[in-house]
């Protein structure tokens, strides 16, 4: 879900929908404090950050207008990355998008740090080159010149990873065309009888399962939680209550398809906090236009509650509910279902019992 941005003449307030995104961005801003690599931070609260407003143009705008010496501008960006790597040591930015850098008065400023992981920070150079290679240029000769120039500035070892970065960028772009027409619903209405406590509120690495899933599904414009109590009001997502209760995930899918505005809804259960954004992109990228349901298969097991469902199945869904058959596999057999092999099968681990939970601590 998109963060809320309030801009005045002097400040920018960024309100974070995801608690994890807020903490990740705050961590980077604290590391960069006083470095000049980003705007000065004036205030942070438990969900928003207030920054100095920098007037300038994003790097994507500069490319589009083609009004500057782009070689000189990207020299400065490489220097920005070099200083960022020196300060942060092992942080790899997951989304080096040219829209996330502002050029102002001869300086580069980074403006988005909510998505990153620890690793080999030289990947940041490769990501810059990949971003330029996949950007739209009015003049292809300028693009070739700029790519060649950037290659001359970075270590040859980094260049080897550029291809993987390009694949990720193109995958994201293709998937986002479909994701924009899709709502996201986290299924959290189960009784958690085997676990003994609400699974969505279990903690992993200092955050609840719901926090992790909300962060991993932030690419959707609208995120909902399917639940039949007020346990999840704290997560700043609209709650969808079941019309048909005590019938398992089928009740959640029925309620969401009835209430959500978009033609498609992506579902994920609250006990699967490891399914990544990249896995979701892969599912949407492979989605066929005529499919009624698109679900993951991992290690020969079908996951009916991790997938995309279309509103057109509502009549069949209601018919099955009224017949008293609440099995999800029966529903998948009765509609046009597409099965997609999970790209990272280790992410598809249900945490259903205390023993499951102990295994990830």
The whole-number pLDDT of residue 219 equals 96
Would you kindly state where each structural domain of the chain is located, as residue ranges? 4-172, 180-358
Q: For residue 316, what are its two tokens?
A: 């069949």
- Domain at 180-358, CATH homologous superfamily: Spore Coat Polysaccharide Biosynthesis Protein SpsA; Chain A (3.90.550.10)
Query: Is 241:233 a contact under the CB 8 Å cutoff?
Result: no
- pLDDT by position in tens, the chain (length 361): 878 899 988 999 999 999 999 999 999 999 999 999 999 887 777 788 999 999 999 999 999 887 679 999 999 999 999 999 999 999 999 989 999 999 999 999 999 999 999 999 999 999 999 999 999 998 899 999 999 999 999 988 888 899 999 999 999 999 999 999 999 999 997 767 678 688 999 999 999 999 999 999 999 999 999 998 888 998 989 999 999 999 999 999 999 999 999 999 999 999 999 999 999 999 999 999 999 999 999 999 999 999 999 999 999 999 999 999 999 999 999 999 999 999 999 999 988 898 998 999 7
How does DSSP classify residue 246? S
Q: For residue 203, what are its two tokens?
A: 């903690």
Q: Which long-range contacts (CB under 8 A, 24 or more apart) does 9-12 make?
A: 9/53, 10/52, 10/53, 11/42, 11/50, 11/51, 11/52, 11/53, 12/39, 12/50, 12/51, 12/52, 12/53
Q: Domain 4-172 is of which CATH architecture?
A: Alpha-Beta Complex (3.90)
Nearest Cα residue to 105 out of 15, 25, 36: 36
The whole-number pLDDT of residue 288 equals 96
Q: For residue 251, what are its two tokens?
A: 């009740």
Global pTM?
0.93
* Pair type for strands 293-298 and 337-341: parallel
Q: Which helix (H) or strand (E) holds 103?
A: strand 101-104
């Amino acid at each position: 879900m998109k963060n809320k941005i309030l801009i005045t003449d002097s400040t920018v307030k960024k309100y974070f929908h995801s608690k994890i995104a807020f903490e990740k961005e705050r961590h980077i801003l604290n590391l960069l404090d006083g470095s000049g690599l980003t705007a000065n931070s004036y205030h942070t609260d438990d969900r928003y950050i207030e920054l100095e407003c920098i007037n300038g143009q994003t790097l994507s705008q500069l490319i589009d207008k083609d009004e500057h010496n782009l070689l000189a501008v990207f020299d400065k960006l490489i220097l920005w990355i070099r200083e960022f790597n020196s300060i942060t040591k092992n942080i790899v930015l997951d989304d080096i998008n040219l829209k996330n850098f502002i050029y102002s008065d001869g300086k580069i400023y980074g403006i988005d740090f909510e998505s990153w992981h620890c690793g080999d920070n030289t990947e940041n150079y490769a990501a810059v080159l990949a971003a330029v290679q996949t950007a739209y240029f009015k003049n292809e000769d300028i693009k070739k010149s700029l790519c060649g120039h950037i290659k001359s500035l970075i270590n040859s070892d980094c260049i080897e990873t550029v291809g993987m970065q390009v694949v990720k960028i193109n995958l994201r772009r293709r998937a986002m065309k479909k994701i924009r027409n899709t709502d996201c619903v986290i299924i959290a209405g189960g009784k958690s009888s085997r676990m003994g406590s609400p699974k969505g509120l279990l903690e992993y690495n200092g955050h609840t399962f719901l926090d992790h899933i909300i962060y991993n599904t932030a690419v959707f414009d609208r995120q909902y939680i399917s639940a039949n109590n007020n346990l999840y009001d704290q997560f700043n997502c609209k709650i969808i209550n079941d019309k048909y209760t005590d019938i398992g995930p089928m009740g959640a899918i029925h309620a969401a398809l009835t209430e959500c505005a978009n033609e498609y809804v992506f579902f994920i259960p609250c006990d699967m906090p490891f399914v990544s954004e990249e896995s979701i992109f892969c599912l949407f990228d492979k989605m066929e236009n005529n499919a009624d349901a698109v679900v993951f298969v991992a290690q020969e097991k079908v996951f009916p509650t991790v997938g995309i469902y279309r509103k057109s199945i509502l009549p069949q869904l209601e018919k099955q509910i009224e017949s008293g058959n609440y099995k999800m596999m029966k529903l998948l057999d009765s509609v046009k279902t597409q099965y997609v092999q999970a790209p990272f099968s280790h992410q598809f681990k249900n945490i259903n019992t205390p023993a499951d939970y102990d295994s990830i601590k």
